[in-house]
């Protein structure tokens, strides 16, 4: 007798969308984790700067999330690298920053971030924002 449980497992994994989370702040990472629970999403966490590009190449994320105010991971440097790499430049990026830091917002937009929102909006609407980017990316692809 054969079982099809392995097929179900593979299908579940195929349907999951990988989200690369380039956030070291525990408060915001927890917000992302809670908003993007299994089974719909698979979270990959970038712990070091090099993880961002490496994990993009190895996991092909549906969206990358950046905290533009993160002191450990340089989102600006990551955006520059992503936008110059033909394999990675079309991955949608969601960023959040302090709403008062106009220069941060302008610089993120200039580097091609797909969407940037305030920290408060990110906290309140994480799942909606991610789904919006995924849906818009699918329509454009």
The domains of the chain are located at 15-140
- Tell me which residue of 6, 45, 32 sits closest to 128, measured CA to CA: 32
Positive or negative, the Cα torsion across 110, 115, 117, 119?
A: negative
- Pairing type for strands 17-22 and 63-67 reads parallel
CA distance linking residue 4 with residue 99, whole number of Å: 50
CATH number of 15-140: 3.40.50.2300
Q: Per-residue pLDDT for the chain (141 aa), expressed as one digit of tens each?
A: 444 444 434 444 456 899 999 999 999 999 999 999 878 899 999 999 999 999 999 999 999 999 999 999 999 999 999 999 999 999 999 999 999 999 999 999 999 999 999 999 999 999 999 999 999 876 554
Instruction: Read off the pTM.
Output: 0.86
CA distance linking residue 72 with residue 99, whole number of Å: 20
Identify the pLDDT of residue 2.
Answer: 44
């Amino acid at each position: 007798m054969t079982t099809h449980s392995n097929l179900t497992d593979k299908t579940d994994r195929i349907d999951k969308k990988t989200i690369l989370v380039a956030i070291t702040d525990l408060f915001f990472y927890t917000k992302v984790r809670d908003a993007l629970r299994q089974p719909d999403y698979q979270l990959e966490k970038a712990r070091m700067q090099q993880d961002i590009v490496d994990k993009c190449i190895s996991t092909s994320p549906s969206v990358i999330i950046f905290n533009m105010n993160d002191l450990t991971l340089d989102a600006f440097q990551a955006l520059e690298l992503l936008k110059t790499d033909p394999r990675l430049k079309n991955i949608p990026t969601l960023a959040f920053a302090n709403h008062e830091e106009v220069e941060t917002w302008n610089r993120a937009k200039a580097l091609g971030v797909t969407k940037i929102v305030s920290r408060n909006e990110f906290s309140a609407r994480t799942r909606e924002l991610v789904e919006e980017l995924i849906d818009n990316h699918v329509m454009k692809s």
